Amino acid sequence: MKAYALLGYPLAHSLSPKLHQSVFQAWDLPHVYFPWEITLSQLPQAVEMFRRNLAGFNVTAPYKTEIISYLDELHLSAEVYSAVNTVKNEGGKLVGYNTDGPGFMQGLASVGFQPADKRALILGAGGAARTVALELAHQGAVCTIAARDVTKAYAVQVFVEKKFAQAELEVTNIERIPRRHYDLVVNATPVGMGELQGQSPLQMEYLQHVDLVYDLIYNPVRTKLLADALRSGCRIINGLRMLVHQGIQAQEIWQEQKADSSLEDEILELLAKEIG
Ligand code: NAP
């Protein structure tokens, strides 16, 4: 039996333990996966404890960048995003990976959205917004990054432009978003979940004529933003497929085994039922 964990804070809302236990069950593995909430000051000791006892772990907000300095090696996927969400323990050597970007793109692919030459509005400028901006810019979308702290949005812009000199990005305060046509709106803030459930990060008038609204939040299944988007005639998608895809990719890295294509849909259905 091997042990795996999720490192982050807070973790009460996380479906990752259920997701990974479902993969172990599907693959008939006796392994365990548990959430481990820590504060920033506990990070060094937690990583050393994990190095001695775990076969791997996931990392979530707010430690996806901080974790890097405690790892021995970064896979190319983690180097690209300068963030880690999956760590494999290779006999005491901790190797960091990132499976969030493919997870986000899988969500877009599942509804047939092609980002090339589209205009995207990204709400937030944290780790997820950076991954989203990088993926969309790479695919040729023109991105507006809206954040309450504009300096953080500029940091995302610089990060993306360093990777893709030809990327087209602009930055705005989330309270003063330019009124123009956006094909895609992505919520990469926590507004809509937890204590902010029932709130939306975007006024409804921005949603007119938007093709797709993608909320990275998966619990609740339908945030206020998504409900407003449906009322405005937009297509919608939440963050559940992204979560499941990145989780299955983490398992593929840990177990060195490829998942059947049906596993993603099975787990998606199971988790959707779990949330209700
Ligand atoms: P993060 O690094 O903490 O960034 C959060 C961003 O949201 C920051 O720009 C923050 O601004 C902004 N924000 C927070 N509260 C806000 C408010 N009240 N109004 C406006 N902006 C606000 O978190 P993250 O890792 O990027 O995650 C962001 C969201 O994506 C979370 O809801 C997370 O659950 C979701 N997510 C989902 C998946 C998935 O698999 N579905 C994967 C990753 C993330 P400040 O910097 O000013 O605080």
CA triplet 193, 197, 201: central angle to 5 degrees?
A: 80
Three-class secondary structure of residue 59 per DSSP: strand
**Ligand 1 contact, 189 CB (< 6 A):** yes
Q: Is the pLDDT of residue 255 over 90?
A: yes
Pocket mutation for ligand 1, best pick of 86, 159, 189, 241 (most atoms within 8 Å of C-beta): 189
Q: Whose CA is nearest to atom 36 of ligand 1?
A: 216
| Type of residue found at 194 | G
Q: Binning pLDDT at 50, 70 and 90, where does residue 75 land?
A: very high
Q: Using N-to-C axis directions, what is the helix angle for 100-110 and 127-138, rounded to 10°? A: 60
228 CA distance to ligand 1 middle (Å): 20
pTM: 0.95
Q: Is the pLDDT of residue 13 over 90?
A: no
Give the per-residue pLDDT at 103.
97
| Residue 4 near residue 251, CB atoms below 8 Å | no
**Ligand 1 contact, 247 CB (< 6 A):** no
Segment 256-260 shows an average pLDDT of 97
**Catalytically active residues, by annotation:** 64
**Ligand 1 contact, 125 CB (< 6 A):** yes
pLDDT digits over 108-129, tens only? 999 999 999 999 999 999 989 9
Pocket mutation for ligand 1, best pick of 216, 219, 264, 267 (most atoms within 8 Å of C-beta): 216
Which among 90, 112, 139 has a CA at the least distance from the CA of 214?
112
pLDDT digits over 80-118, tens only? 999 999 999 999 999 999 999 999 999 999 999 999 999
Percent of the chain predicted with pLDDT > 70: 100
- The residue ranking higher by pLDDT, 202 or 276, is 202
**Ligand 1 contact, 193 CB (< 6 A):** yes
CA distance 81 to 90: 22
**Ligand 1 contact, 239 CB (< 6 A):** yes
Q: Binning pLDDT at 50, 70 and 90, where does residue 178 land?
A: very high
102: its two tokens: 């493919």
**Ligand 1 contact, 107 CB (< 6 A):** no
Cβ neighbors of 211 (< 8 A, separation 6 or more) are: 113, 118, 183, 184, 234, 235
Which among 78, 99, 23 has a CA at the least distance from the CA of 257?
23
Q: Is the pLDDT of residue 276 over 90?
A: no
Count of residues making up the chain:
276
Report the nearest atom of ligand 1 relative to the CA of 61.
25
232 CA distance to ligand 1 middle (Å): 24
Beta bridge partners of 59: 7
Which among 199, 201, 197, 173 has a CA at the least distance from the CA of 188?
201
Cβ neighbors of 124 (< 8 A, separation 6 or more) are: 146, 147, 187, 188, 189, 201
Other CB atoms within a 10 A radius of the CB of residue 270 amount to: 15
Report the nearest atom of ligand 1 relative to the CA of 131.
26
